[in-house]
Amino acid sequence: MLRNSTKAIAIVEDVRIAESFFGRLRGLMFEHRSDFNYALVMPLSQDSRIRASIHMLFVFFPIAVFFVDEKKRVVDKALLKPFALNYTPKKPCRYIIELPQEKFSCAEVGDLLEW
């Protein structure tokens, strides 16, 4: 379960971790919108802005993205549209969390998340 500890709310029940390089590379490419009802957490080996850059190529629906530091605090968030070429977070992060777009308002910059 992905939870916002700051607001004391559950965001989503199902959390999937993309630990492999291929899992992070694939992300949500070719996923069907109707199947996307979970949080996809992509851990990075170190805090980074550049390594946390993401694209939306072959993602056919908009998503919410939270960029989270090593303390699991949200440092940036974005609503990304299908086929966007690039988004680089404003601050370095350790985790990228992709969610259904309607979950965008479930966390603000500075909120503490847990999974």
CB half-sphere exposure, 33, CA atoms < 13 A: 9
Burial 73-95 (b: 16+ CB within 10 A, else e): bbbbbbebeeebeebebeebbbb
pLDDT (tens place) for every residue of the chain, 115 residues total: 999 999 999 999 999 999 876 667 667 766 878 888 999 999 999 999 999 999 898 889 999 999 999 999 999 999 999 999 999 999 999 999 999 999 999 999 999 999 9
Q: Which CATH number fits domain 2-104: 2.60.15.10, 3.30.1370.10, 2.60.120.1140, 3.30.565.10?
A: 2.60.120.1140
Instruction: Compute how many other C-beta atoms are within 10 angstroms of the C-beta atom of residue 115.
Output: 15
Domain ranges in the chain? 2-104
Q: Which two tokens stand for residue 80?
A: 């990304």
Question: Would you give the end-to-end CA distance of the chain in angstroms?
Answer: 6
Cα separation values, 77 from 20, 22, 71, 95, 105, Å: 23, 23, 16, 12, 10
**Widest Cα–Cα separation across the chain:** 34
Spatial CB neighbours of 79, under 8 Å, sequence gap ≥ 6: 62, 63, 64, 65, 101, 104
pTM of the predicted model, to two decimals? 0.90
Which helix (H) or strand (E) covers residue 75, if one does? Answer: strand 74-80
